[in-house]
Structure 1
Amino acid sequence: MSFFHLRRAGKNRYINIILERGMRLHTESLPHQRLRGPGLSGGRRSCRKAENPPAFFAPLPLCVTRYVSVFKAAVKNELQKGKAAWKTMGPAKVDVPSPKDFLQKRSKPPKLPLSDKKTSKNDIRKPPVPLRSDHPIMGIQSGKNFINTNAADVIMGVAKKPKPIYVDRRTGDKHGLELSGLVPKYINKKDYGIIPEYICKRNEEVKKVQEEYDNYVQTKLKKAAMKRLSDEERDAVLQGLKKNWEEVHKEFQSLSVFIDSLPKKIRKQRLEAEMKQLEHDISVIEKHEVIYIANK
């Protein structure tokens, strides 16, 4: 059912209720109404019953049957389809505790099992002081000659080499010789002065790329370079121009002596322009023996 149908049904019902209530109030209050007429003396009040009520207050026929949409059930099902109990939060899925198992102190935190390992603070202490009754072992003597042993170790031992130093001042300012750079260190290596392999590889790659670029540039220059016209081609072009000039000149000689129309005048001007251009080209080629042709 649409909103318009619901509003219309509610409006009709509201009007019917108002009409019923008005008619009931009118029929109850009208017979007992006290009327004051002009013929009554002294302004006395009289009570009369209305035998015929006005037609305005006649009861209207009530609308017993009202419109009910055939889609009411479908709309109701559609509205209830997306609704469900506890859909947002969901029902509680925890066990309800019994009254006997009430909350006690320290009942929630888990109780850790007791450790079987025994520790004591006395383990890290030093050994105790000997007692008065304890006596050390006395009378032990060794036959080792420590003097001879030490002398033999000194004689057979390798002498300690002094650290190489250099003095740069007369007052005896000493520094280490190894890190000073005065002693040749790197020139004695086998690979001293040899270019590393990665640098050689890099140089080859750079050289290869440079060669490719140079070839590309040379190709572009050759395509854009001017071409020199050979002697045979120069003679052929020159003979062709002279032949064209002779043909145009022959056509020019065949014109009439008297030019009396506009087409004749235009034709004469065109032939003169062609002959002039051919003469200019012939003079340029004859003047220059070496001719270059630019590529477009």
Structure 2
Amino acid sequence: MKKPARYVSKFRPAVLLESKLQKGKGNTMRTMGPAKVQLPPPDKYLKKHSKEPKLPEKTDSSKDPCDTHFCTTRKPAIPARTEQPLMGIPAKKDFKETSMTVPKKPEPVKVDTNQGHRELLENSGLVPKYVMKNDYGKTPVYLQKRKEAEQKAQEDDRLEREEREHRVIQRLPDEERQAVLEALKKEWDTYMQMYQRTPFLVETLSQRAHKIELEKRMDELEKKISLIERFKTIYIANEEVSHCGGHL
């Protein structure tokens, strides 16, 4: 099987020509290789301690003006032991007068790391400055007002609920309770008689539905009768007082 010819770009002659032109200009080490620098002559070799920094030489103008050979004024006498030093004089830029000023009291700081991180002690929370206030430990005014408003709202709701219950619900008298109990028992006897008249064997769907309805009504009446007999005091709504003879 013969292999296809290798791919050759059509720009290859132009690239070769351009590279030859660049080489002809002397740019062979334009992007790589050592830099061409002028070497020092043999007599300028590196000597010992030649790269160490040297201090400038002393001249007459750089000498101390207070030297014994150049100072023309006498220094002030040493103050006596009984003499009081001058204090309270504002500091100036002159170094000689700074010793007479009152020293500034340093601000208390705290260091919390081994690297020496400093922070003002007042802002760190370690200084008990809030406990010194007059209202410390007392409930804030806005919380007191909020609590009073909540208590007032709860009291209004309670009064409204009691008024509504008093207006809607009332106690059933004993005479009416007894009359309702007798009416329920009489109604139960009526349904019981109807239930006893039903045939023992149910043959049609209508008879079966009638019998189930009687049993349901009798169960409801039994629950109401037991409820009235168990509780001596009964509260009912006002709109239900006129219908308590037949329903509870």
| Alignment TM-score, normalising by the size of structure 2 | 0.34
More helix by percentage = 1
| Alignment TM-score, normalising by the size of structure 1 | 0.30
Between Structure 1 and Structure 2, whose CA radius of gyration is higher? 1
